């Protein structure tokens, strides 16, 4: 070590040493810029750039060697043999070209190729050095300290390997700096160590050839060669860099303008990215360059995508150990050109917003928009899955149909906005009951369905207990008051029908249907209860279906008829009007009571054509009477909600020719209360036609003085339930007296229904109720039985033949 130091300190001109090192650095600096360019592009371009890299690197190292030799003072005259001097330059160029070529090779064995390439460059430096030393001629004997020679060769080789290993493909400034520094150390360490091993023993007897290159001319030649090579390499690299920077800047502007993240890779490693990718990964450029893109950020990509057989995937972008985000990735390959290697561009798009939108759309498709519970379609899918599971496990499944009691009254009283608010509130409450065992959906209006699993339960008793517990929870949460406004709270109840699979049905449709039947049974019983399905309900339903079907046929085939019940004046016992009552004698079922088929007609919608038929038939019949008696026709609550009812009445009156004053339409208080505003408008329009309005069954429904005040009523009908109790029931008598007095005070007519006895008649007469109707005065009969009343002239002709019979029939009472 001391010998090397002594040689450098005492036998070298430090200024020339520094100049040699500077020239070496210039050459090596240019060489690595050329090497970086040689690592990309097509094969032909890479070979050209590798050749230029070898020329510049080899020439720079060769120039460094010989300038350093000029700095060396061997004490004796020195000359250089031309052929060997030129050979040393060729060795320097060839070895560095080969070494850089090996290091630039791509493939799975990058590290070995770079180490081998560095080794070739390091050994080439030694080969060049000792060939150049072999060209030196002095009058003396040259010998070597072989241990130092071996050490010098090893240092050159080691630092050469480290240089190209750390430089990689010289993509970044850091890689280039490490490569330049270590290669410079390799050249300097090898040269000056080897010079320390040189021993020159002067011997004048040693002949020196005449054809030698003097140190003066060598200095000029080396300077020229070094300057030319470095200049050529520098200018070429500079022009190429400017051209690539221009293209790169244009591509970067284009890339940074893209919303999608873009990543450019060569040999799997990142060479460039746009700003979108850096923002997406929260990274800096130096943190991503030269990273293995797929391994680092997309480790879950399938092999087909990695090899290029698949160009699109949706996967997860790994941002950290526990953090990922969904992305879609598009892969595009760009073949090598004069500027770049084979390049793969990856376009990445953040899918979080799309997934969120798809999730929201899926939620909207599966859930009810008002209550946020499941909708009908999704519930049916869940039910189908549950039935399959029940078949596999043998554990029954329960379905409940839930319907709110009197919800229509809430809508009518406070408006549909309040109704929607109530549904939202109830949906929130029911949603809190949803578990793995309980599924709740809104299937329309105020109708809800519940799917109940009985996990880890067996036995009918345990299942029934569980069902009742859940049903009671539903009733309890519905029963809590609902805020409507500052002055009002609504309190609802619910009717719940229950059916079990497979006991109560073989498929989803039958289970839902049977649960619905059970729910309607609760409705009929007053609501706010739970009823389990039984086979008797199915039989009743089938009977109702048959009844509805037969009723439709009866309407189409003219099997219906009207009976007429007299309405009399007590003072003269004369019939003043008739009430038209619908009768149906079915060929299969026989005489069917209106109490049975009218509710079914209202449920099925048949009441509209049925009611119109009754009105039309009664009006045409009354118009044909020679005695212009009044005719009363009942309107159902369903008819009273139809806006076109006044037009229908007007049309029938015009077609039949009946005087509107003879027609009296009877409505119930219950029908009026469903939608008071609409009922008021419709009755007012009918009243304008000249038709009379009677309030039927007064006192049995929502009796209110406001009803009498607000609605255009002409007559009150006292319900027969009060008349039947007149004798012996003080309360009934008080109610009847109050109604009669109220009617008189309001200037309304009053008529009592259901009068059957003399005592009832006497009570009514004593309290100034003159109009009566009931079995005492006549049963509902076909109008032919009252021909003598409605056609009195024909009756007079008959009386001329039989005066006694005619007198009795004229009164129309005793003959009933």
Residue numbers annotated as active site = 753
Give the span between the Cα atoms of 679 and 458, in whole angstroms.
Answer: 54
- Chain-centroid distance of CA 465 in Å reads 37
Are the beta carbons of 716 and 677 closer than 8 angstroms? no
DSSP three-state, residue 347: strand
Q: Which residue has the tokens 């009934």?
A: 732
What does the alpha-carbon distance between residue 814 and residue 807 come to, in Å, rounded to a whole number?
Answer: 10
Measure Cα distances from 795 to 573, 576, 714, 807 in Å: 18, 17, 32, 9
CB atoms within 10 A of CB 803: 9
Tokens of 479: 């029963």
Length in residues, the chain: 816
Q: Which two tokens stand for residue 405?
A: 């009691």
In the numeric block, which tokens belong to residue 343? 């390049």
Q: Taking the mean position of all CA atoms in its chain, how far away is CA 361?
A: 3
Q: Alpha-carbon dihedral of residues 660, 664, 665, 668, nearest 10 degrees?
A: 150
Q: Residue 478 is encoded by which pair of tokens?
A: 């519905």
Least Cα distance to 72 among 186, 194, 155, 183 occurs for 194
Does residue 490 contact residue 401 with C-beta atoms inside 8 Å? no
Across 503-648, the runs of DSSP E, i.e. the strands, are: 529-532, 560-569, 574-586, 590-592, 630-634
Q: How far apart are CA 463 and CA 437, in angstroms?
A: 12
Distances (CA, A) of 142 to 78, 138, 201, 685: 12, 8, 6, 136
Q: Measured between alpha carbons, how far is 110 from 103 in angstroms, rounded to an integer?
A: 8
Burial of 456 (0-12, 13-18, 19+ CB in 10 A): exposed
The whole-angstrom separation of Cα 260 and Cα 91 is 51
Burial 474-496 (b: 16+ CB within 10 A, else e): bbebbeeebebeeeeebebbbbb
3-state secondary structure 392-440: HHCCCEEEEEEEECCHHHHHHHHCHHHHHHHHHHHHHHHHCCCCCCEEE
Q: What are phi and psi of 521, to 5 degrees?
A: -65, -40
DSSP class of 298: -
140-157 burial, b at 16+ Cβ within 10 Å, e below that, comes to beeeebeebbebbbebbb
**In the Cβ-directed half-sphere of 319, how many Cα atoms lie within 13 Å?**
13
Torsion angles phi and psi, residue 200, rounded to 5: -115, 120
Residues 645 and 633: their CA atoms lie apart, in Å, by: 14
Q: What is the DSSP string of 45-88?
A: HHHHHHHHHHHHHHHHHHHHHHHHHHHB--SS--EE-HHHHHHH
CB-based contact 691:663 (threshold 8 Å): yes
Integer angstrom CA distances of residue 393 from 57, 382, 456: 80, 16, 11
The pairing of strands 79-80 and 630-634 is: unpaired
**Which residues, 6 or more positions from 425, have their beta carbon under 8 angstroms from its beta carbon?**
482, 483
Distance CA 715, CA 498 (A): 46
């Amino acid at each position: 070590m001391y010998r090397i130091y002594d040689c450098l300190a005492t036998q070298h001109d430090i200024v020339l040493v520094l100049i040699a090192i500077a020239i070496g650095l210039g050459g090596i600096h240019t060489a690595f810029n050329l090497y970086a360019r040689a690592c990309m592009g097509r094969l032909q371009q890479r070979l050209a750039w590798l050749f230029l890299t070898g020329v510049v690197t080899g020439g720079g190292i060769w120039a460094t060697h010989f300038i350093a030799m000029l700095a060396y003072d061997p004490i004796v005259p020195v000359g250089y043999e031309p052929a060997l001097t030129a050979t040393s330059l060729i060795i320097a160029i060839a070895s560095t070209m080969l070494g850089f070529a090996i290091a630039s090779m791509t493939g799975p064995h990058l590290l070995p190729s770079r180490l081998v390439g560095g080794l070739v460059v390091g050994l080439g430096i030694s080969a060049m050095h000792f060939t150049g030393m072999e060209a030196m001629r002095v009058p003396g004997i040259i010998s070597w300290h072989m241990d130092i020679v071996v050490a010098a060769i090893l240092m050159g080789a080691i630092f050469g390997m480290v240089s190209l290993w750390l430089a990689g493909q010289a993509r970044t400034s850091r890689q280039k700096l490490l490569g330049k520094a270590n290669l410079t150390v390799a050249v300097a360490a090898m040269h000056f160590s080897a010079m320390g091993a040189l021993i020159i023993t002067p011997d004048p007897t040693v002949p020196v050839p005449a054809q030698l290159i003097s140190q003066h001319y060598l200095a000029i030649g080396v300077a020229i060669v070094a300057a030319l090579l470095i200049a050529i390499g520098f200018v070429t690299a500079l022009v190429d860099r400017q051209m690539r920077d221009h293209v790169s800047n244009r591509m970067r502007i284009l890339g940074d303008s893209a919303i999608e993240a873009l990543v450019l890779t060569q040999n799997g490693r990142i060479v460039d990215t746009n700003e979108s990718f850096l923002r997406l990964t929260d990274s800096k450029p130096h943190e991503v360059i030269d990273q293995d893109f797929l391994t680092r950020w997309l480790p879950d990509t399938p092999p087909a995508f990695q090899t290029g057989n698949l160009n699109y995937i949706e996967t997860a972008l790994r941002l950290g150990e526990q953090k990922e985000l969904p992305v879609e990735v598009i892969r595009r390959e760009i073949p090598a050109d004069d500027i770049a290697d084979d390049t793969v561009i990856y376009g990445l798009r953040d899918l979080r917003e799309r997934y969120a939108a798809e999730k929201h759309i899926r939620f909207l498709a599966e859930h009810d928009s008002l209550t946020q519970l499941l909708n009908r379609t999704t519930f049916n899918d869940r039910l189908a899955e549950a039935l399959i599971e029940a078949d596999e496990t043998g554990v029954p499944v329960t379905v409940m149909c839930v319907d709110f009691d009197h919800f229509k009254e809430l809508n009518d009283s406070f408006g549909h906005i309040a109704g929607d608010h109530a549904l939202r509130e109830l949906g929130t409450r029911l949603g809190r009951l949803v578990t793995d065992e309980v599924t709740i959906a809104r299937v329309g209006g105020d109708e809800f369905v519940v799917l109940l699993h009985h996990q880890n339960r067996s036995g009918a008793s345990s299942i029934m207990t569980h069902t009742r517990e859940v049903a009671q929870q539903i009733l309890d949460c519905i029963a809590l008051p609902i805020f409507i406004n500052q002055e009002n709270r609504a309190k609802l109840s619910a009717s719940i029908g229950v059916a079990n699979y497979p006991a109560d049905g073989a498929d989803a449709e039958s289970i839902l249907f049977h649960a619905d039947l059970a729910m309607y049974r609760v409705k009929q019983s007053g609501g706010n209860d739970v009823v389990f399905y039984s086979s008797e309900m199915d039989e009743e339903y089938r009977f109702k279906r048959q009844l509805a079907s037969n009723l439709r046929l009866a309407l189409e085939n003219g099997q219906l008829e009207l009976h007429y019940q007299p309405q009399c004046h007590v003072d003269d016992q004369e019939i003043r009007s008739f009430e038209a009552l619908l009768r149906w004698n079915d060929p299969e079922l026989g005489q069917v009571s209106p109490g049975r088929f009218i509710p079914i007609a209202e449920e099925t919608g048949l009441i509209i054509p049925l009611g119109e038929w009754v009105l039309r038939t009664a009006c045409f019949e009354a118009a044909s009477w020679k005695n212009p008696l009044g005719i009363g026709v009942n309107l159902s609550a369903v008819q009273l909600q139809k806006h076109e009812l006044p037009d229908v009445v007007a049309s029938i009156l015009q077609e039949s020719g009946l005087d509107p004053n003879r027609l009296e339409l009877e409505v119930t208080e219950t029908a009026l209360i469903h939608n008071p505003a609409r009922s008021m408008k419709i009755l007012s329009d009918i009243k304008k036609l000249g038709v009379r309005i009677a309030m039927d069954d007064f006192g049995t429904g929502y009796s209110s003085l406001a009803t009498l005040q607000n609605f255009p009523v002409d007559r009150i009908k006292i319900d027969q339930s009060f008349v039947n109790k007149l004798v012996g029931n003080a309360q009934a008598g008080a109610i009847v007296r109050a109604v009669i007095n109220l009617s008189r005070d309001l200037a309304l007519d009053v008529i009592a229904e259901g009068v059957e006895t003399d005592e009832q008649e006497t009570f009514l007469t004593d309290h100034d109720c003159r109009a009566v109707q009931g079995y005492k005065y006549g049963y509902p009969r076909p109008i032919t039985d009252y021909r003598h009343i409605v056609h009195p002239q024909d009756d007079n002709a008959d009386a001329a033949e039989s005066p006694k019979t005619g007198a009795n029939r004229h009164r129309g009472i005793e003959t009933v």
